[in-house]
Amino acid sequence: MSQTGYGAVMTSRFNGEQYLANIFKLIELARTFEMDGSRGLKNFVVRLKAMIAREPGEARADISGGDEDVVRIMTIHQSKGLEFPVVIIADIASSIKSQTGKITFHPEDGLGLQHYDLASGKWYAGPIFRNGAERAKSEQTQELKRLLYVAMTRARDRLVLSGAAKRKGVWQNWIDQTIEEAGLSDKVAVFQKPAIQDMSSSSVGAPPLVDRLLAGYRPDTAVPGKPVALSPGIPSMQISVTSLASFSLCPRLYYYRHVMEAPMLDHAKAFSFPDDDEQSRRETGIRAHEVLEQTQIGEGAPEDALKDAVNEKFMDFSRKTKGDVLKNLTTAFGKPPLSALRLVAPGAIMREVSLVHKIVEKEMELIIHGTADIIWFDGTEWNLVDYKYSTRPVDERAYLFQLKLYARALMTAHRMELLNTAVVYLKEKKDSVSTMRFLPIDAPDLRGQVVNMTRRLLKLEKKPECEWPMRERKSCDEYECFFRSRCYES
């Protein structure tokens, strides 16, 4: 959907948010159907037809937020994308529904059967059946873990977990194990058999325990009859380095790319795909990154490793494109800083490194995440390089800002005193490298810049397109922005 821009088109229509939510609900229905073991498109279509014919009909997807002063009861799938001050998850002690039956099917293993032995009168499972059953159980376990994560992360301020005390299901076992491993036993409120109000003699309303929990009561620490005040939760925002860099360059660009998820394709060339068009250039860049991610580099690497990788990844491209890509990559790795990798042991080189940095302010919690292209230690200093399969842009502020965020996250995580960083423009023939030495003294200024930018972003959230600021037309043309035709009429 993100590649075709379907979501952006739907949201631009009247009542488009509801239409788009219905599509996501359909996807979740399909996912649930697959989990139940009733695989197959034909069976799913039959189920949909039955739902359409049934009265009352299937409800529309819920598009309301979690701030209304009401109690909402919903499935975990329905809660995706929503957030609530208080979340109660019931029946965490329930056990996994066993997959009974004499037949299993897995896309990789095929059809597995149990066979009946006439002599003994017993059913015996064949090797394919056993393997398929184990795979199905493993997949179901992983899906249950994902569901538990979704359910627990819907809570903004308080999370209440409820289940039978006499038995423990997989969810409760996972939760107990996590609490124990993290040493959080003294931080969790556990209570059993709370007093139940006699509803026959009381006025209609919530049970007293609910009111006390909402008021800040904690059964593990509170003195009976004396509620404990808890500090209210602060909003938490997760954002990628790329998204924040887009916003630093142009808020309207951020809106198109990360809110509307509009495709980065020139509409005038939407139905033309020669080697030099926008779509092909993006695909070339993606594959070039895959080559650099997977090719053996460092001390002892084969001389033809890069050439072999390019030929494999660009098998369906023209000879000219393959030749240009190989020439660009060979040139980039033939001069600093990437040329230094020839003398670095492979074990000291890390590629596609996931980085996370957390910033906490009084009014918000910001979690920035991203992936750095390559990091290595040369025996003396650490080095970080982010490469772009492009020429040097007129305005490279967004790329340098992105590089600083990576550096900040890496230095904080590993307590570094110095980090050499660079952006390498793989298609640039002359001045192809922008270098920067990042020191701890640079961190406060970057933090302040990020916090102010995030505050500005939060103010713009849920605003219409016209209220997102945009750059001057000249800057858009210099940057060759894909969306300049949307901001300015040709």
User: In terms of domains, do 157 and 39 share one?
Assistant: no
How far is Cα 284 from Cα 480, in angstroms, rounded to an integer?
18
Residue 111's pLDDT is 79
Task: Phi first, then psi: give them for residue 275, nearest 5 degrees.
Answer: -60, -25
Q: Which residues pair with 383 in a beta bridge?
A: 376, 420
Mean pLDDT of the chain: 78
User: In terms of domains, do 182 and 122 share one?
Assistant: yes
User: In terms of domains, do 216 and 175 share one?
Assistant: no
How far is Cα 200 from Cα 265, in angstroms, rounded to an integer?
66
Total number of domains in the chain: 4
**Parent domain of 410:** 237-487
329 is a domain residue: yes
424 is a domain residue: yes
User: In terms of domains, do 347 and 292 share one?
Assistant: yes
pTM over 0.75: no
298 class by beta-carbon count within 10 Å (0-12 exposed, 13-18 middle, 19+ buried): middle
Residue 436's pLDDT is 93
Residue 406's pLDDT is 93
Torsion on CA atoms 469, 471, 476, 478, rounded to nearest 10: -150
User: In terms of domains, do 174 and 210 share one?
Assistant: no
160 is a domain residue: yes
- Residue 230: half-sphere exposure toward Cβ, Cα within 13 Å: 16
Confidence tier at 211 by pLDDT (50, 70, 90): low
User: In terms of domains, do 281 and 211 share one?
Assistant: no
Which is more confidently placed, 117 or 373?
373
Average pLDDT over residues 283-299: 89
Residue range 225-240, pLDDT digits in tens: 454 444 455 666 788 8
71 is a domain residue: no
115 is a domain residue: yes
CA-angle at 285, arms to 284 and 286, nearest 5°: 90
CA distances from 125 to 38, 94, 129, 408 (A): 20, 27, 6, 55
Residue 82's pLDDT is 72
Residue 432's pLDDT is 94
Of 188, 220, 248, the position where a domain reaches its end is 188
86 is a domain residue: yes
Average pLDDT over residues 357-384: 89
Q: Which of 102-111, 139-148, 440-449 has the lowest mean pLDDT?
A: 102-111
Confidence tier at 219 by pLDDT (50, 70, 90): low
Q: Please state at what angle helix 16-35 crosses helix 41-53, rounded to 10 degrees.
A: 120
Residue 3's pLDDT is 63
In the chain, the largest separation of any two C-alpha atoms, in whole Å, equals: 86
User: In terms of domains, do 127 and 161 share one?
Assistant: yes
Closest C-alpha to 251, from 450, 453, 482, 11: 453
Residue range 161-199, pLDDT digits in tens: 887 766 666 777 777 777 777 776 666 666 555 444 443
Residue 392: both structure tokens together: 């040097």
For 326-355, b where at least 16 C-beta lie within 10 A, e where not — what string? bebbeebbeeebbeebeebeeeebebeeeb
Closest C-alpha to 355, from 326, 384, 331: 384
How far is Cα 226 from Cα 224, in angstroms, rounded to an integer?
6
How far is Cα 428 from Cα 307, in angstroms, rounded to an integer?
19
**Which CATH number fits the domain that encloses residue 337?**
3.90.320.10
User: In terms of domains, do 208 and 345 share one?
Assistant: no
305 is a domain residue: yes
Average pLDDT over residues 111-136: 77
Instruction: Judge whether residue 270 has pLDDT over 50.
Output: no
Residue 400's pLDDT is 92
Q: Please state at what angle helix 443-460 crosses helix 397-414, rounded to 10 degrees.
A: 120
User: In terms of domains, do 220 and 261 share one?
Assistant: no
Confidence tier at 279 by pLDDT (50, 70, 90): low
User: In terms of domains, do 388 and 243 share one?
Assistant: yes
User: In terms of domains, do 217 and 246 share one?
Assistant: no
Which is more confidently placed, 86 or 385?
385
In the chain, the amino acid numbered 273 is F
Which is more confidently placed, 5 or 104?
104
Q: Which of 144-148, 312-316, 465-469 has the lowest mean pLDDT?
A: 144-148
391 is a domain residue: yes
Residue 5's pLDDT is 64
Torsion on CA atoms 316, 318, 319, 325, rounded to nearest 10: -80
CA distances from 475 to 74, 279, 395 (A): 48, 22, 8
User: In terms of domains, do 461 and 325 share one?
Assistant: yes
Confidence tier at 292 by pLDDT (50, 70, 90): very high
Of 34, 63, 92, the position where a domain reaches its end is 63
